[in-house]
Amino acid sequence: MQARISKSAAIAALMALLAPVLALAYDEAPGLPTATAALSPLPKSPIPDVNSLKLIKPAKAVDEEAFREKDVWGRIRSGYAIPDVNNDLVTKHVNWYATRPDYIARTTARASLYLFHVVSELEKRGMPTELALLPFIESAFNPNALSNANAAGIWQFVPGTGRDFNLKQDAFKDERRGILASTDAALTYLQRLYDMFGDWQLALAAYNWGEGSVQKAIKRNQAAGKPTDFESLAAQMPAETRNYVPKLQAVKNIVANPQQYGLSLPVIDNSPYFTAVDKTSDIDLTVAAHLAELSVDEFKALNPQFKRPVITGGEDTKILLPKENAEKFHINLAQWSQELSTWSTHKITSARESIRSLASRFHTSPEVIRQANNIPQNSVLKAGSTILVPKISASANLDIPEDNATVAYEAERSGKSAKGYKLPAKNGKAEKGSVSLVKARVARDDAKTRKHRKAN
C-alpha cells in the first residue's frame, strides 16, 4: 500500500536529510550570517522556444491527459517510451534498491518537491517521461549534491557544460542547482543528444560519458562490422556508463510496480508544488523566507541556487515558493516596512585590506564577513575580489549590480618582515581560493571526468 506524504511532512523529511550534505558542499557556509536584526512579527492577514525541439511523439495536452492520473508516478508510468533493458546489471541494481527501502524513502521524499515540474516539462517537449527519474541516478534528487568532478545540482552539470547551456555561475548564484534553469538545460541537452544518435539509450550514455566518446565507440564497432546499440557498445564503456542505463531501468521497474519489490512510494499529488514569484529588488534570503512564512531550510530547498545571504539579480531572477506560501509572500511584502536587504558589496583594491580591518570599517565581525563570502580561516582576500559587506548607511540602498562578481583568496603567508609586511611562503606558492581554486579544479577535473564532456 502506498504511503501518502503531506507536503509539510515531505519538506521536513527533506531538510533533515539535506543537512549532512549541505555541510559537505564547498560553497555552503556552516551558518547563514546576516546583518538583519531580529525580524519583526508579520501582521495577521487573510490567506487570500520548445517549438524548435524535435518531438519524438506528439506532446500531451497536459490539461486533458496528464491530470487523469491520480499522482505524478502514474503520469511517469504512462509516458515510458525508452526500450527496456533486461540483463544481469538491471537485476543487480533492482536488488540493491529493493533491499534499501530507507534510501528509496529519502530519495522520493526529496523528489516529491520537484517531480511534477520535471514531468510537465518532459510532456511539453514530447520526451519520454522516465527521464524524470534520471536525477534518482545522478544526485538522489539532492540539489546540493556536488561530485568530486565539481558536478552540481540534481542533473549534475560540470561548470563548463553548465556555461554551454547558459547556467549562470558567479559569487552569488549557481544555476546548476536551480530547479527551473537546470531542468530546462538538462532536457535541452538530452534532446540534442537524442537528435544526434537517434536512440535514447545512446543519448543517456552520452550524457554520462560524453558524445565524443560514444561517437568513437560507434565508429569502432562499425569498422569491426558489429552492432552499434547500447548493449553492443557496453564493453567499450567505463563501468559507470555501462551501469548507467541499467540503473535507470532498475528505477523504472520499481516505479512501474513497487509492490512487486516490497516497496512503497509516497503519493505525490498531481498538481504543482511550487510557483515562481518575481523578485523586484535585492532581498535577504532570511527576509524572503520570513515573508513567505517558511523556515530558511524550507526556502533553500526550492531555491538552492542562491549561494549568499542576499538574493541579487534583475527582473529575470525568480524565487520559488510553495503555492500556498506565494500569496502570503505578496501580502506580507506589501506591508513590510523594514529594509529588504542589509547587504552591499565592496571591491578589494589592495592586498593589504585585511578581513579584520574590513569588519571594523563595516561595523561587523570578521566571522560574519568570512561566512557571508565563504572565505576559509587562515586566508586573505586578493585584490580584485568583490565581497558582501553589511550596509552602513541608507544611501547604500542600491541593488547589487550583476557584474559576474568573483571572490578570490589565498592562504595567509608565513612569517613577517621587520616592517610587519607578510613574507612569501618558503615554497613560493599560495593556495588559491574560491573562483581561482575552482578554475584550477575544473581544469583538472574536467580533463579527468567523463560526465557531460566531449571527448577529444
Q: Write down the catalytic residue from 121, 130, 138, 175.
A: 138
Print the SS3 string covering the chain. CCCECCHHHHHHHHHHHHHHHHHHCCCCCCCCCCCCCCCCCCCCCCCCCHHHCCCCCCCCCCCCCHHHCCEHHHHHHHCCCCCCCCCHHHHHHHHHHHCCHHHHHHHHHHHCCCHHHHHHHHHHHCCCHHHHHHHHHHCCCCCCCECCCCCECCCCECHHHHHHCCCCECCCEECCCCHHHHHHHHHHHHHHHHHHHCCHHHHHHHHHHCHHHHHHHHHHHHHCCCCCCHHHHHHHCCHHHHHHHHHHHHHHHHHHCHHHHCCCCCECECCCCEEEEECCCCEEHHHHHHHCCCCHHHHHHHCCCECCCEECCCCCCEEEEEHHHHHHHHHHHHCCCCCCCCEEEEECCCCCCCHHHHHHHCCCCHHHHHHHHCCCCCEEECCCCEEEEECCCHHHCCCCCCCCCCCCEEECCCCECCCCCECCCCCCCCCECHHHHHHHHHHHHHHHCCCCCCCC
Instruction: For residue 175, indicate whether it is catalytic.
Output: no
Catalytic residue numbers, as ranges? 138
